[in-house]
């Protein structure tokens, strides 16, 4: 089943209420914040998956969709270029 994002009713209501403010402040900033949040969530999830496979002696790139593997490789490279090494979820929490 394809996964898609659908707003919950409370999210729709909040979006409608804040619409004018976001337009004045710039919609781009709002979406950047949301994308940054989702990127952090995806990154942390992939780190946890990778570490779980590594603990079991498996591949560092488990059987994930090709697009996810490509994103993960690119994201790691970008992190390294920014001087932000790929960290374990446990070390990021402390």
User: Does the pLDDT value for residue 90 go beyond 50?
Assistant: no
Residue count of the chain, please give it.
94
Give the pLDDT confidence of 60-88 residue by residue, as tens digits. Answer: 666 788 898 888 888 888 888 888 766 64
């Amino acid at each position: 089943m394809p996964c898609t994002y659908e707003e919950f009713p409370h999210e729709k209501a909040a979006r409608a209420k804040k619409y004018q403010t976001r337009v004045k402040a710039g919609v781009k900033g709002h979406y950047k914040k949301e994308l940054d949040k989702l990127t952090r969530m995806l990154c942390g999830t992939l780190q946890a998956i990778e570490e779980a496979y590594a603990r079991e002696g498996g591949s560092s790139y488990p059987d994930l969709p090709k697009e996810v593997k490509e994103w993960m490789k690119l994201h790691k490279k970008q992190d390294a270029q920014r001087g932000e090494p790929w960290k374990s979820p446990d070390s990021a929490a402390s």
